[in-house]
Amino acid sequence: MELTYGPEYDDFRAEVRNFCAVEGKRNKFGAMKMGEARPNQLAVDWQGKLIEAGYTARTIPKEYGGFGAKPDIIKSLIISEEFVKTGTRGGIQNQGISMLVPTLIEVGTEEQRQKYIKPTINGEMIWAQGYSEPGSGSDLASLKTKAVVDGDMFVINGQKIWTSSAQFADMCFILVRTEPDEAKHHGISYLLMSMDDPGIDVRPLVTMTGEAFFNEMFLTDVKTPVTSIVGKRGEGWRIANVTLKYERGMIGGSGGSSTGIRGLADMMHTETLSGVRAIDLPVYRDRLLKLQGRALANKYHGLRLLSNDINKTGTAVEGLIIKLSATYLAHDIYALAVDVMGEFGTLYDDSIYKRQKDWMKQYIGSFMGIIGGGTSQIQKNVISERGLGLPREPLVKYDQNGWDLLKK
Amino acid sequence: MRFGLSEEQTMLGDMLNKYLEAESSLDVIRESCDNTPHHNEKIWSGLLAQGAHTILIPEEYGGAGLSMLHSETVSEVLGKHIAPVSYLSNAVLSPLAITLAASDSQKELLLPGLASGDVSYGIGLTDAIVNRENTNLEITNGKVNGVSTFVIGGQTADKLILGKPGTLLLVDSNAEGVTIKPMITVDKTRDFAVVTLENAPCEVLGKEGSAAQAMQKLLNAGRISIAADTMGAADAMFNQALEYSKERFQFDRPIGSFQSIKHIFAEMVTELEPCRSLLWYAAHAFDEIEDEATLLACHSKAHIAEVAKTIGRATTELHGGMGFTDLLGLHFWFKRIEVNRQLLGGPEIQRHFAAVVQGWAPEAITAA
Ligand SMILES: Cc1cc2nc3c(=O)[nH]c(=O)nc-3n(C[C@H](O)[C@H](O)[C@H](O)COP(=O)(O)OP(=O)(O)OC[C@H]3O[C@@H](n4cnc5c(N)ncnc54)[C@H](O)[C@@H]3O)c2cc1C
């Protein structure tokens, strides 16, 4: 066990700490949630400062607008540690930055990289992810939205759903069927399309939190140049999986549960039931402690995964499990908060009774992590098949009307 | 940065694993379970030859002076093979009790015997944590009266270390006034005894009433070691069930292709792998980070017990009728996990102590 990073990182840490003390203090404004709204000018300016200092977009090459540092997980870790410790706001996180940019770096053309990476990491170009369709969610590869080539353009027709940020996005990375005669996984292409096209009709869908941050997206004769394909025709499934890998990591990060436990414990020290603090009631306290045990296990598992990355150790299953465990844990933490607050935990308006945190909203919101980016059941399929080597379910086809099995 | 075991610690585990694969077969375990005491001298002598018992004994007294992370590695392998040996009393708790609480002259006298493996120890801490039978140990003029329950390794011990809140004392097994009777638990891979003392000559380790801190640390060592043993046993049950579900066919399919079964495996591994990370960090905190040691030890004991309980149930069930038979022997692992769960305090008690160290609960149950 070697949990220090070595003296060669001391200077770097001091530099980051200094930045947070000087610049971080000067730039205090609330954190932005994924998909909430376009970053405002303040956020874009801050992003510019962070890139210049090398604290975000750190390893993205200079020619694409990044800082151009050599990958060093420990330095990235130090940055995030110091930012969290000092409450300094980190860089912008959105689907473009977290998912599309790494994909373009891995498999995009030089032209695509030149054109899209810089404005995306600057926070000026917002992307939507056009994967899911009404008939194709978990079974994404069954998607039907199609694109045909007409001259030097792809012409796209079909419908997408659950498309986060589409209401304000500039661009969309979208999966479409271009090779209808090929087997389902081999007929898909990965395209980049402008959201300005008049054939795109975006209709907001209100979620159970009461907000509308995802949408239906109807596509009628939408055009995008043939050069906007990432990878080759029919390779879209493979490219999409490059992107999904980054999504799973984005959702599964384990820092959240430690923060959740701390907030919950603080609340239980002030919330009283007939004069008794919730923390002093063993029935609630034991539930808190149970969750703390899980959160600690996840926290140190996060360190182990990091160490696996640095030292090239570990097995696949160790990484595959994190989204499943982190998202349910978050759900359970917020559920306890609501239980502790009782009827007051159900308040969805704070005009008369103020509470420290909007626990109910967090509780409901935790479904985003559980369902988005592949549901828990799909995670379990992946863990058991890819992680543990268990056999796939046999593929069968049902008749939609009579539940009879159809022969292939 | 490297989180986890060092190469040396991994090698230690691998070596022991090979040894136990050869020596601690199911047949051997069955034989030990049928004998009283259950402690298997042959397996133990092999461990002695490898020096596994000296890990936590300081070098100046003939030990290897290694860390809890080393010992944790050993405990996990012993749990995996449910080895019927008294490692916990002879290699973890007794050496630490002496190292932490005894006077220098007592250490000089006692530790070399442990390091050579010539003197065997039993240790009773249960009543010092939660006293259920009103079994107080009363010391007057070098004589002790009372009862100590669940003395680990008590039946095969030459010497006994017994705890009461704030004090650890030493008794000779053969001394007058000492009666040792086996306490037969459902787990027949380990020995527990009840020790009755009637005016038995005793010696306090260090000074009477001064062992509270030592006891806290000692309990942490116990919590981590038991959690590690459970971790190994749960991992073994998991792997055995995984193999079985790939081989056993029903409805012309391996049962492991049924999604309900695959998902149970996914849930189990999702809980189990982070347990290992927690355990490693708890052992590391014991070695290096005093502030966090008790919190992590309590949580690892509690959390791993909970996870292992679900794994014990699910893996037994996944074997169908075979899981319930004696034929397969899976039940030996199940029972080891169940006894580990209660030993030195079950999950609720551990979580209570975890709350106490964070200032979240008053100290209602005594510990140390
Ligand atoms: C907050 C949020 C944001 C999202 N943002 C986007 C976005 O920006 N872009 C985008 O393209 N998509 C987005 N999604 C969509 C998301 O990826 C899908 O909702 C998800 O993949 C599930 O698909 P579905 O909704 O069609 O459910 P279904 O696939 O219909 O699933 C219904 C139920 O059946 C289960 N199920 C399905 N197949 C199996 C199986 N093989 N085995 C066992 N159980 C199964 C599922 O687990 C689930 O419980 C978002 C979703 C959420 C919640």
ipTM value greater than 0.90? yes
Which of A371, A392, A396, A398 to probe ligand 1 with, by most ligand atoms within 8 A of CB? A371
Pocket of ligand 1 contains residue A381 by CB under 6 Å: yes
* Residues lower than pLDDT 70 in chain B: 364-368
pLDDT per residue over A12-56, tens digit each?
A: 999 999 999 999 887 776 655 555 678 888 899 999 999 999 999
Over pLDDT 90: what percentage of chain B?
A: 95
Tell me the backbone φ, ψ of residue B319, rounded to 5 degrees.
-90, 5
CA distance B282 to B294: 9
pLDDT value at residue B10: 97
Pairing, β B121-124 against β B159-164: parallel
Q: How confident is the model at residue A351 (pLDDT cuts 50, 70, 90)?
A: confident
- What element of type H or E holds A269? helix A255-270
Residue the block writes with tokens 């004991």 = B301
Pocket of ligand 1 contains residue A122 by CB under 6 Å: no
- Tell how far the Cα of A383 is from the centroid of ligand 1, in angstroms: 17
Quickly count: other Cβ atoms within 10 Å of residue A405's Cβ.
10
**Helical pair B7-23 and B41-50, crossing angle rounded to 10 deg:** 150
Identify all chain B residues contacting A300, using CB atoms and an 8 Å cutoff: 3, 274, 277-278, 280-281
Preferred mutation among A280, A284, A304, A320 to probe B, highest tally of B CBs within 10 A: A304
Residue in chain A closest to B298 (alpha carbons) equals: A293
Range of weakest confidence among A4-8, A220-224, A267-271: A4-8
Beta bridge partners, B163, equal B168
Residue in chain A closest to B299 (alpha carbons) equals: A293
Over pLDDT 90: what percentage of chain A?
A: 74
Residues of A with a catalytic annotation lie at 247
Q: Does the pTM exceed 0.90?
A: yes
Quickly count: other Cβ atoms within 10 Å of residue A105's Cβ.
16
Quickly count: other Cβ atoms within 10 Å of residue A25's Cβ.
11
CA distance A333 to B125: 34
pLDDT value at residue B62: 96
Quickly count: other Cβ atoms within 10 Å of residue B63's Cβ.
21
Q: What is the mean pLDDT of chain A?
A: 91
Determine the average pLDDT of the residues in A276-302. Answer: 96
Inter-chain contact B351–A311, Cβ cutoff 8 Å? no
pLDDT per residue over B79-119, tens digit each?
A: 999 999 999 999 999 999 999 999 999 999 999 999 999 99
Give per-residue burial for B169-206: e unless 16+ CB within 10 Å, then b.
Answer: bbbebeeeebebeeeebebbbbbbbbbbbeebbbbbbb
pLDDT value at residue A408: 54
pLDDT value at residue A106: 93
Q: Could you identify the atom of ligand 1 that is nearest to the CA of residue A136? A: 26
Inter-chain contact A307–B262, Cβ cutoff 8 Å? no
pLDDT value at residue A36: 62
pLDDT value at residue A254: 52
pLDDT per residue over B11-68, tens digit each?
A: 999 999 999 999 999 999 999 999 999 999 999 999 999 999 999 999 999 999 999 9
pLDDT value at residue A258: 83
Residue in chain B closest to A306 (alpha carbons) equals: B3
Pocket of ligand 1 contains residue A372 by CB under 6 Å: yes
| Least Cα separation, residue B12 to chain A (angstroms) | 15
Preferred mutation among A301, A376, A396 to probe B, highest tally of B CBs within 10 A: A301
Q: Domain A127-235, what architecture?
A: Beta Barrel (2.40)
Tell me the backbone φ, ψ of residue A67, rounded to 5 degrees.
-90, -25
| Least Cα separation, residue B228 to chain A (angstroms) | 14
pLDDT per residue over A56-102, tens digit each?
A: 999 999 999 999 999 888 898 899 889 988 889 888 989 999 999 99
Range of weakest confidence among A80-89, A275-284, A286-295: A80-89
Residue in chain A closest to B4 (alpha carbons) equals: A1
Q: How confident is the model at residue A243 (pLDDT cuts 50, 70, 90)?
A: confident
pLDDT value at residue A246: 66
B286-295 long-range contacts (CB < 8 A, ≥24 apart) are: B286/B68, B286/B217, B286/B220, B286/B221, B286/B224, B287/A1, B287/B67, B287/B68, B287/B69, B288/A1, B293/B217, B293/B220, B294/B216, B294/B220, B294/B353, B294/B354, B294/B357, B295/B354, B295/B357, B295/B358
Q: How many CB pairs under 8 A join A and B?
A: 151
- What element of type H or E holds A129? strand A127-130
Beta bridge partners, A389, equal none
Identify all chain B residues contacting A387, using CB atoms and an 8 Å cutoff: 266, 269
Inter-chain contact A391–B281, Cβ cutoff 8 Å? no
Q: Is the pLDDT of residue A251 over 60?
A: no
Identify all chain B residues contacting A1, using CB atoms and an 8 Å cutoff: 2-6, 69, 280-281, 284, 287-288
Identify all chain B residues contacting A74, using CB atoms and an 8 Å cutoff: 1
DSSP state of B51: T
Tokens of A78: 């130090």
Which of B211, B138, B155, B160 lies closest to B367 in space, CA to CA? B211
- What element of type H or E holds A229? strand A229-230
Inter-chain contact B351–A388, Cβ cutoff 8 Å? no
CA distance B101 to B210: 8
Identify all chain B residues contacting A12, using CB atoms and an 8 Å cutoff: none
Q: How confident is the model at residue A401 (pLDDT cuts 50, 70, 90)?
A: confident
Handedness of CA B220, B224, B226, B227 (dihedral sign): positive
Q: Which residue's alpha carbon is nearest to atom 2 within ligand 1?
A: A372
Q: How confident is the model at residue A357 (pLDDT cuts 50, 70, 90)?
A: low
Pocket of ligand 1 contains residue A138 by CB under 6 Å: yes
Inter-chain contact B269–A321, Cβ cutoff 8 Å? yes
Indicate the fold that domain A252-387 takes in CATH: Butyryl-CoA Dehydrogenase, subunit A; domain 3 (1.20.140)
- Domain definitions of chain A by residue range: 7-93, 127-235, 252-387
Which of A375, A384, A385, A386 to probe ligand 1 with, by most ligand atoms within 8 A of CB? A375
pLDDT value at residue A349: 84
Contacts of B203 (CB under 8 A, 6+ apart): B106, B142, B169, B170, B171
Determine the average pLDDT of the residues in A103-108. Answer: 95
Inter-chain contact B270–A306, Cβ cutoff 8 Å? no
Which domains, and CATH codes, for chain B? 7-116 (1.10.540.10), 121-204 (2.40.110.10), 212-367 (1.20.140.10)
pLDDT value at residue A192: 98
Tokens of A165: 């940020």
Identify all chain B residues contacting A279, using CB atoms and an 8 Å cutoff: 360-361
Instruction: Determine whether B365 is exposed, middle or buried from the number of CB atoms within 10 Å of its CB (0-12, 13-18, 19+).
Output: middle
Nearest to A383 among B269, B278, B303 (CB): B269
Beta bridge partners, A173, equal A129, A192
CB A166 within 8 Å of CB A127: no
